Structure 1
Amino acid sequence: MSYYAPFPFELQQVEYVKLYFYLENSNYFDLPDLGLLQLRRELRQGLKSFSDLGQDDYARELTQLLQPDLPDDPVLLRQIQQPSPAFVISPDTSLCGLIAPKQRICLPVLFLGSGIKAIDFFVSLLQHLGTRGLYHGCGRYVLEGVEAEDGSGVRSMLWSKGKQTYSLNPPVCRLSWWLERKPSFENSVQFEIVTPLRILRQGKPFFKAGFADIFPFLLRRVTSLLAAYAGVELSPYPAHYISMAKQVKVVQNSFHWKDWRTLNNEHGDQNLGGLMGALKMQGDELSELLWLLQLGHLFNIGKGATYGAGQYRLIYS
């Protein structure tokens, strides 16, 4: 089905790569519910031990990927403030419980714009992490293969079985072409949260929210990633889009709060969670906002979006 809704012409210059990493587990381990959303900690610890091995060139590239520097451009700095990495992990969080040897875990990762050049370094970090464990030192694995997906959703294996010793050459896709292949909607769109969506205002999370509350965070996430890693500046448009989001009619709101883990720190235990549930929305304004909703589906939104929190799907009717 063709895509009829408008989107900015500048998106034609934005490139991305979508890869699926297949991790073959080496031993039994217990993966808690939503445990795959905690890969930020594991990857950063893996990077530190990787650096301790004397791999300085790789460590520099990976540090910039996982912990990007603030932009030099003052205009961009005001927009982005604290930059997110140029990749997005969207794991299947239904996978939990006892993981057996030889069981495969699929890790989908999207690399955006300038982040594409760091793919080989990311592969090396994943291979190194396999010697340490996927979750709190448990779940050692072998990176068994890498699959690529083109803009039409067709997948192909880049390599499988054994250690990757050469540079990957995945298909580079255009974001505009991906959008053009997405469906339009007839009457309504359902926004269904897949993993806890945690958004903060003045340091406090939203325990209840509607579309007008969530949309500015979605807009900021999309526009900041495009600006930082694809050089696409959409600054003339945010106020217009936010105004349109306020006009969208919400016909059903089942958002609710879900705690999913406890954070232990010096101030005591802190429950972490986020919004779950769905919004059903109607209105002509949705046709103009649809490209932003669809890119938010690619990028995730809210705290921890890079590592799989704030995933959602769109259901059209």
Structure 2
Amino acid sequence: MHVRAGDTATHALVVIGEAVRHLPHLFSALRKLGDTGLGGDRVPFRIDRMFTEDGNSVFEFPRESRFESARTIDITVTPGPSRWDRFDLLLVTPTRITSDGRLARRPTVFDIAAALARRVFLLSCFHCGGPAEPHWDEFLDAARGLRCIDTELQWIDAERFSTRQQQRIPIGGVVGKMTCQGDLGRLEPLLRAGEYVHVGKNAAFGLGKICLAKGGPHG
């Protein structure tokens, strides 16, 4: 990616559980990263504004001495009431799901739900004071009962530059859309959580972003 002086960009940062208390430290680290520069070319940047999902400003340049507290969002991830529906599951950024020990180039909805249930449980347990025992059987049962009506998936090759290893690392994955029908009601809370926490390998880099769109097209 090539950038010019004066270019602007907006980036999203998901901070989960106890990490919210450390947001000022994360902000300080990002500012120091801006001084150091991004990538192999060490491109410097400045943070002009930091704001929450609802538009509430946490920081605005040049008011550098003020850092407001961020509003948080509580997400309850328990199976919802049974409701049959047709929906689209969008894989927005390259999604890297492991199945049978290897990256799946055509993951199923069950593969995605299983990986997401595992990720949500671990985040809840270690960062949000959640239960130490997973309770995802009902989510997985709902995922098994889904019928995939149409699949439009493609593999996208991508890479990142590792400053530690001083080389480019492949992070390709699947993007596209899956149109499904089944008991969305029970599964929806898990998929909605996935819209925030992403799913699969390298989620911390922004990979595995999913989006649920209810009422997919009828054939």
Structure 2 residue aligned with 1:134: 38
Instruction: Give the AA of the match of 2:22.
Output: A
Structure 2 residue aligned with 1:315: 213
Of all paired residues, the percent bearing the same amino acid is 20
The superposition leaves residues 263-311 of structure 1 with CA deviations (integer Å, 9 ceiling, x where unpaired) of: 89x9x9975411111111111x211010000001110111111220011
Give the superposition deviation at 1:262: 7.7
Question: Would you say 1:281 and 2:180 are equivalent positions?
Answer: yes
Question: Would you say 1:224 and 2:122 are equivalent positions?
Answer: yes
Give the superposition deviation at 1:122: 0.4
Equivalent position to 2:29, from 125, 138, 142: 125
Equivalent position to 1:246, from 118, 140, 144: 144
Question: Would you say 1:147 and 2:47 are equivalent positions?
Answer: no
Instruction: Give the AA of the match of 2:59.
Output: W
Rounded Cα–Cα distance in structure 2 between residues aligned with 1:305 and 1:272: 10
The superposition leaves residues 206-248 of structure 1 with CA deviations (integer Å, 9 ceiling, x where unpaired) of: 1222111221101111111111111112735222321221111
Instruction: Give the AA of the match of 1:175.
Output: I
Structure 2 residue aligned with 1:259: 157
Change (3 A) 1:270 1:117: closer
Q: Give the alignment's Cα RMSD to 1 decimal.
A: 2.7
Aligned residues of 2:89 and 2:213 also touching (Cα < 8 A): yes
Rounded Cα–Cα distance in structure 2 between residues aligned with 1:279 and 1:249: 10
Rounded Cα–Cα distance in structure 1 between residues aligned with 2:190 and 2:103: 23
TM-score, normalized by length of structure 2?
0.83
Rounded Cα–Cα distance in structure 2 between residues aligned with 1:306 and 1:225: 12
Rounded Cα–Cα distance in structure 2 between residues aligned with 1:244 and 1:207: 23
Rounded Cα–Cα distance in structure 2 between residues aligned with 1:261 and 1:142: 24
Q: How many residues align?
A: 208
Aligned residues of 1:261 and 1:272 also touching (Cα < 8 A): yes
SS in 2 for 1:240: helix
Runs (4+) of structure 1 moved beyond 4 Å? Answer: 268-271
Question: Would you say 1:99 and 2:6 are equivalent positions?
Answer: no
Long gaps (5+) in structure 2: none
The superposition leaves residues 7-46 of structure 1 with CA deviations (integer Å, 9 ceiling, x where unpaired) of: xxxxxxxxxxxxxxxxxxxxxxxx2xxxxxxxxxxxxxxx
Aligned residues of 1:209 and 1:255 also touching (Cα < 8 A): no
Instruction: Give the AA of the match of 1:220.
Output: R
More helix by share: 1
Long gaps (5+) in structure 1: 1-30, 32-97, 180-184
